[in-house]
Structure 1
Amino acid sequence: MTFKFKRKRILLSEKNKSSRAIGYARATNNEFENLEEQIKNLKEEGCSLVFSEFISLDAEVKPQLNKAINFLNKGDQLIITQLDRAFKNKRECLMTINKLINKDIKLRTLTGFFAANESPKENSSIFKILYELDNLEDKSLGEIKREQLLRRKLSGNNMGGRPKISPLKESLVIRLRNEGYSYRSIRSQTGIALSTIRRVILEGELT
């Protein structure tokens, strides 16, 4: 009986030891410092291997992210610095989470999403998850729009043709956003189209 008990403990120890933490890092265009910082933080977190790439957030396929997921086995965990490094919207994020759960693989971020030292049953964890998912789409849209504006400026294309609003309304949009209101909330308060709200906010950030 003693031998069997010790053997069981050894097997459990070996199982825990074999689980791995794999990282994924992504940056846009040639943001070398951004990518290097992510890789550094992921390695400090304990990632034995970090898959990384320069690729736009709205790319349909992220080859290195797919490689990272395929590299993982049951009991492993995929770590990213924050959700918008890997996912452009809630649907893409939830689909990947479901895929990882089915493989018994954990996803977590350095910002606390599915943090290892927290129980997923705790209310605080649930609210943190919902909060990050609620903000993911705004973050990814912001990056995509900034890329589009930058490409237009670099190519010298005319950025006209968009709906115009008065400077007063532009100031109101910016003030509401600075106060923490979401794009949809600003639309309901002002009646301004979402596309115009995004343009005003993003152009304000670029100036």
Structure 2
Amino acid sequence: MLVGYARVSTPSQSLDLQIKALKEAGCDKIFTDIASGAKTARPGLKDAELVLREGDALVVWKLDRLGRSIQHLIESINALKEKGIGFRSLQEAIDTQTSGGKLVFHIFSALAEFERDLIRERTNAGLEAARARGKKG
């Protein structure tokens, strides 16, 4: 089963474009939220997750509709994967149930890990430089 999820940030925005695309993609059920991407509370997404079963796929119109950041997106998709649930993003043509989609997702994961490592290295270098100047951090 394909389960769609659509989200807009404010009530003045319309879900119509996303819902139409999800229906055309063959989604059997579609859940929606009107919430900023920065908010963690998304009742529509929670409801979608309750319906999803092993072998199903969560479908979104665009990646940023699911994840607040690349790290959050990766965590969300990995949580789905652990349950045997696939993920599809229509605009980016990503489908983690295909070998090409898995490759793209692994590249995203590697880039996110690289970014985290760079931030850690910069933070440590900044702390060392501050210590060398006699500051404690």
TM-score (norm 1): 0.48
Cross-structure match for 2:60 = 80
Amino acid at match of 1:98: N
The aligned runs of 1:9-158 (5 Å cut-off) are: 20-33=1-14, 35-110=15-90, 111-114=92-95, 118-120=98-100, 126-127=103-104, 130=107
- 1:121-155 Cα offsets, whole Å, 9 max, x none, are x8xx62476369969xxxxxxxxxxxxxxxxxxxx
* Cα pair 1:79 1:109 within 8 Å, conserved: yes
Cross-structure match for 2:133 = none
How far residue 74 of structure 1 moved from its aligned partner, in angstroms, is: 0.8
Rounded Cα–Cα distance in structure 2 between residues aligned with 1:59 and 1:89: 11
Gaps of 5+ in 2: 113-137
* Cα pair 2:74 2:109 within 8 Å, conserved: no
Rounded Cα–Cα distance in structure 1 between residues aligned with 2:110 and 2:9: 21
Rounded Cα–Cα distance in structure 1 between residues aligned with 2:111 and 2:26: 28
Rounded Cα–Cα distance in structure 1 between residues aligned with 2:79 and 2:96: 18
TM-score (norm 2): 0.70
- Aligned-pair Cα RMSD in Å: 2.5
Q: Percent identity?
A: 30
